[in-house]
Amino acid sequence: MGKLDNRIAAITGAGSGIGAATARLLAAEGARVVIADIDEATGHKVANELGAAGAFCKTDVRNPKQVEEMVKFAVDRFGRLDVLHNNAFYTTVGAVGEMSIDGWLKTISVTLSGVFYGMRFALPQMVAQGGGVIVNTASISGLFGDYRMGAYNAAKAGVVNLTKTAAIEYARKNIRVNAVCPGMIATPPVVNLLAATRDPNRASKNAAESHAMGRLGQPEEIARVVLFLASDDASFMTGSIVVADGGATAHTGLPGHPL
- H-assigned helices in the chain: 17-28, 40-50, 64-78, 101-108, 114-129, 150-170, 188-195, 200-209, 219-230
CB distance 11 to 35 below 8 Å = yes
Handedness of CA 185, 189, 190, 195 (dihedral sign): positive
Q: Please identify which of the residues 90, 117, 152, 170 carries the catalytic annotation.
A: 152
Query: Residue 204 and residue 12: Cα distance in Å, rounded?
Result: 27
CA distances from 222 to 21, 103, 254 (A): 8, 26, 27
147 as an active site residue: the answer is no
Q: Is 80 exposed, middle or buried (0-12, 13-18, 19+ CB in 10 A)?
A: middle
Dist CA 18 CA 203 (whole Å): 21
Q: Are 131 and 175 in contact (CB under 8 A)?
A: yes
Residues serving a catalytic function are 152
